[in-house]
A and B are shown apart, each in its own frame.
Chain A
Amino acid sequence: MPKDEYQSRDFKVVGTRPIRPDGIDKVTGKARYGADITAPGMLWGAILRSPHAHARIRGIDTSKARAIKGVKAVITRDDFTYQPEDSDMADILDNCMAGETARYDGHAVAAVAATSKSIARAALAAIEVDYEVLPHVTDVDEAMKPGAPVIESGRQQENVPKGYSENVTGRSQYGHGDPEEGFKQADLVIKRSFKTAATHQGYIEPHACLATLGSDGQGDLWVCTQGHYMVRNVCAGVLGLDAGQLRVTASEIGGGFGGKTHVWMEPTALMLARKSGKPVKLMMSRDEVFRATGPTASSSVDVKIGMTKDGKITGAAATYRLQAGAYPGGIAFLSAMCGFAPYDLENVRTEGFEVMTNRPKAAAYRAPGAPMGAYPVESVIDELCQKLDLDPLDARLKNAAREGTKSSYGPTYPAIGLEATLKAAQSHPHWTAPLGPNQGRGVACGFWFNFGGDTCVSLMVNPDGTVSLSEGNPDIGGSRASMSMMAAEELGVPLDQVRTIIADTASLGQNEVTDGSRVTFAVGLATIKAARHAVEIMKERAAMTWGIDPEAVDWRDGAAHPAGPNAGKFPPMTIKEIAAIASNTGGPIAGHHEVNAEGAGVSFATHMVDTEVDPETGAVKVLRYTVFQDAGKAVHPDYVEGQFQGGAAQGIGWAINEEYIYGDDGRLQNAGFLDYRIPVASDLPMIEPVILEIPNPGHPYGVRGVGETSIVPPLAAIANSVSRAAGVRLTSLPMSPPKVLAALKAE
């Protein structure tokens, strides 16, 4: 077995719960976030945004703004003279600064840099934009109809059947077998339509950056992002710069959840810096975050499932329509892949439609597409169980995918943990706890792929024997701690001897963004390999000192040991001793590893939730919540539990109150946390995390990503719970009080 595959072992550091290394700085306010950096001579940037959902820009007069004292640069799309050939880059540029057309309420149309924030604001007010307002469409079903206002012509792919608006840019299909045949074998077939609203990631920290860009083409960017390599590549691609000349440093990050895996304004900051010749700081207000950075897609879905009396699913089909916002792209294909992924099905077909609308470009949000994939499927399964009088966990176990199952999206599964989560749910006291009046219990399963991808890690053994680890992935979920733990485990040194930092783009090779729940898996894998690389070097240095063969040296407990009696009798050389004489044995010691990590194991979860519905007001209270999820191996269990709880908390918000609300004028009506209601602490019960560990065969320690799967089951789990509590099936999210009360009254 190659050494990088999973091997069971006794861990010393991995699996413990040390104090987080970034904690003190964060609670004392010393941590430096996106907006916390300043530079000498710095200017304040600000962006003017379209008040219209859809408008042709006939002209922009910036003369009055430029005349204001203290205004150092005013830019519009005309200043972006480089036109990217790549269509993705061209779309990003157009999203950062509108060209001929403002495509959504909040679309950037001009920007300024000035010596103070108030001058920058005054300059924005002095810019005159001549708009020709165009018809708009913000609803996904409306946007698909022939005759709907077209956001951009000529972007439809060939796989879209005839009869749809040009706004439908792509269609994908997955599955096997023949659902129609399957429905014939069923004792009950249920078909229903569902809707979910667009929801924002709701990270605490608004986007912020500080940019410099000289006439020599050299630039520096300090930015709050989930992936500074991506920011570098995109900014270079959009502005026609050499990637090597632009150094990007990631700040500490106050949440991202996918929303910071995109570029929304950084090219604008660089352009303002170039035009003014000064460093420019650009920060979004909360209003801008809501209006101009991607929420995830809203969805409209039809699902049909057939089941036998004893709970076997005989046929399954779903059509997903997701809005991608103002540019082509979209994640309906992911919904179509994930919806039925937990089940072993003979007859399953899904399709996904990607639809452009006059809304901000939809962004990744924690397991993008999977929550809307699972919600309709898990709702219909629950209703089938209710009507066939089946236990919803038993029925899911009966259909559960296992090792060897051909998944609904194609691949055949290796060892997976779905059954384990269902069985853990069955034997948990929550499952049998009594319920009161107006209360209901819901369960649902969820799946996420998890990703690997390009990753680089360098591990330096310092002259005093301590270890510095450099990785290139912004730490959102505690990855610095996890990397230090894996390095300490592999090197056999105490955890406090290792410090991990996030290096800038000039210090390591390419790294994928912090997404796809990839970091603990992929960066962890590279960390382990980099540590093994350093160990090999240290073994050589010890061998050299002892005058024996490097193969005759073993590494354990942080020291080189002669491999056996034949190797010679030498006292062990510790990492500290080897480091102290490194200069004389060949120079500094460092390990590194560069890889496109494959083998990220897929992940499953089962969620269980109790809710109570106020029959007179429709208000929903979440009473109890338990998460059962496979983590492969929990490197730092606190962080794993935090991911389980965080996904459930965001799912609760999505299910009950969060939504983008548009007026008839196509403008967003709730661009702030007062009327965009994420749950507050008192809305949530203590969410109990149950960690299961089914090792991922593709990682040396068995690690699987854990960050995203936890947001997949909640929408359905809560909808099932509320539907059972209310005695009426709810098919539209959010289940806000007016909607629930209306459903109760309609009964």
Chain B
Amino acid sequence: MRFETPTSVDQAVALLAADPEARVLAGGTDLLVRLRAGQVAPSVIIDIKRISEMTVISQEDGGWRIGAAVPSAEMNEHAALKADWPGVVEAADLIGSTQIQGRATLAGNLCNASPAADSVPAMVVAGALARIAGPNGTRDVAVQDIPSGVGKTSLGKGELVTSIYLPPKPAHSGDAYLRFIPRSEMDIAVVGCGVAVALDDQGKISAARVALGAVAPTVILSQSCADTLIGTTGDDAALDALAAAATAEAKPIDDKRGTIAFRKDVAGVLAKRAAKIAIARAKGEA
């Protein structure tokens, strides 16, 4: 097994394109665990942490570009980023523990393609784009289009994610992410739910995005959930309708982490609770 530390995106792409068994290493909090468990045996490990453009958070056209090697701990300490997208930052802040957060990245969470990845529903409702570099150049792809199945991505040969872009925060908007875990931390989401809303001048919800995690092979961006909120003030009736829609949209499995019935119920509960936080944030109340 070789270990490579390219210092430019081009070098990383060249290394990746040259060997189908190569793997990108960002924080390694997923990859190293799988390596030790004998689940993967890459021929080359390409560490992207020496590529300087991938290690920074920068403002761009009113939004935020987060390098693919930025650990969640740095996001959590970035006051301006947190002020714009608290839901995304909080979702990243849920990952693992203090030690894990010193390494874990948004891009790694996304490319690991776990249905339970915490930051993904939050990024999806924020309308985040993943910037992809590959042998044929660069392209931007909506975050929800990256995972294509459990542990699978839509990335092509030689491609990697170089950054995540969070668009400018709309006026009177707010986002939130909540997950359910049986413990209080160091656990894996049984259900996750991200909600982002924007209000019009009358305080009515003019735009909404709702995403569910851990209840299907890939994240669900649900229009029917969003529709229950749009045009309302986020009153109790709307929230109940949202909960019912989220329960209906969830397509979970029965497994050791929860039953179908439980996950569907909790998807509704979390959607309601996350929406309340997002609406309060949009109103500037939280």
Contacts and interface: CB of A to CB of B under 8 A. Distances in A.
B260 to A, nearest CB: 10
B2 interface: no
Interface string A107-127: 000000000000001000000
Interface string B234-270: 0000000000000000000000111101100110010
A669 B182 contact: no
Contacts of B183: 657, 677, 679-680, 682-683
A84 B202 CA distance: 85
B86 to A, nearest CB: 21
B256 A738 contact: no
Given A121-B38, A675-B256, A619 B185 contact: no
Contacts of A67: none
Interface in A650-693: 656-657, 661, 669-670, 674-675, 677, 679-680, 682-683
Contact of A657 (B182, B185, B188, B259): B182
A680 B265 contact: no
Interface in A236-251: none
Given A617-B266, A741-B262, A741-B265, A675 B184 contact: no
B186 interface: yes
B180 A619 contact: yes
Nearest to B180: A617
A415 interface: no
B118 to A, nearest CB: 14
Given A616-B269, A617-B269, A669-B256, A742 B262 contact: yes
Contacts of A669: 256
Given A616-B269, A674-B188, A742-B261, A737 B182 contact: yes
Interface string B185-197: 1111010000000
Nearest to B38: A121
Contacts of A736: 182
A514 B85 CA distance: 54
A742 B261 CA distance: 9
Interface in B150-188: 180, 182-188
A616 B270 CA distance: 10
A677 B185 contact: no
Contacts of B190: 737
Contacts of B259: 738, 742
Contacts of B258: 737-738
A667 to B, nearest CB: 11
A674 B180 CA distance: 14
Nearest to B265: A741
- For B180, B188, B257, B259, which residue has the most chain A Cβ atoms within 10 angstroms? B257
A657 B140 CA distance: 42
Contact of A682 (B182, B185, B256): B185
Nearest to A738: B262
* Main DSSP-derived SS at the A contact region: loop
Contacts of A741: 262, 265-266
A121 B38 CA distance: 10
Contacts of B257: 675
A202 B186 CA distance: 16
Counting contact residues on chain A (CB < 8 A from B), the size range is 20 to 34
A657 B184 CA distance: 12
B258 to A, nearest CB: 5
A674 B266 contact: no
Contacts of A656: 182
A670 B256 contact: yes
Given A617-B266, A742-B261, A742-B262, A683 B256 contact: no
Interface string A87-129: 0000000000000000000000000000000000100000000
Interface in A726-747: 736-738, 741-742
A616 B182 CA distance: 13
Contacts of A617: 180, 265-266, 269
B211 to A, nearest CB: 19
Contacts of B269: 616-617
B217 to A, nearest CB: 19
Interface string B266-281: 1001000000000000
A680 B262 contact: no
A675 B265 CA distance: 21
Contact of A680 (B38, B186, B188, B261): B186
Contacts of A616: 265-266, 269
Contacts of B186: 680
Contacts of A618: 262
B256 A677 contact: no
A56 to B, nearest CB: 27
Nearest to B266: A617
Contact of B256 (A661, A737, A742): A661
Nearest to A618: B262
A677 B184 CA distance: 11
A444 B240 CA distance: 40
B202 to A, nearest CB: 30
- For A657, A669, A677, which residue has the most chain B Cβ atoms within 10 angstroms? A677
A200 to B, nearest CB: 15
A482 to B, nearest CB: 33
A617 B185 CA distance: 16
- For A656, A677, A738, which residue has the most chain B Cβ atoms within 10 angstroms? A738
A121 B35 CA distance: 14
B265 A682 contact: no
Interface in A393-412: none
A619 to B, nearest CB: 7
Contacts of B256: 661, 669-670, 675
Nearest to A678: B183
A682 B38 contact: no
Interface in B76-100: none
Contacts of B187: 674, 677
Nearest to B262: A738
Contacts of B261: 738, 742
A677 B188 contact: no
Contacts of A737: 180, 182, 190, 258, 262, 266
Contacts of B188: 674-675
A4 B108 CA distance: 65
- For B182, B188, B256, which residue has the most chain A Cβ atoms within 10 angstroms? B182
- For B183, B187, B188, B190, which residue has the most chain A Cβ atoms within 10 angstroms? B183
B191 to A, nearest CB: 9
Contact of A683 (B38, B180, B184, B265): B184
A607 to B, nearest CB: 21
B184 A682 contact: yes
A661 B188 CA distance: 17
A674 to B, nearest CB: 6
A683 B182 CA distance: 10
Contacts of A674: 187-188
A656 B184 CA distance: 12
A616 B262 CA distance: 10
A121 B265 CA distance: 44
Interface in A591-641: 616-619
A670 B187 CA distance: 13
- For B185, B262, B265, which residue has the most chain A Cβ atoms within 10 angstroms? B262
Nearest to A737: B182
20 contacts: A616-B266, A617-B180, A617-B266, A619-B180, A661-B256, A669-B256, A675-B188, A675-B256, A675-B257, A679-B183, A680-B183, A682-B184, A682-B185, A737-B180, A737-B190, A737-B262, A738-B258, A738-B262, A742-B259, A742-B261
Interface of B: 38, 180, 182-188, 190, 256-259, 261-262, 265-266, 269
Interface of A: 121, 616-619, 656-657, 661, 669-670, 674-675, 677, 679-680, 682-683, 736-738, 741-742
The 3 closest A-B pairs by CB, nearest first: A738-B262, A682-B184, A616-B269
Given A674-B187, A741-B262, A741-B266, 11 more contacts: A121-B38, A616-B269, A669-B256, A675-B188, A680-B184, A682-B184, A683-B184, A737-B190, A737-B262, A738-B259, A742-B262
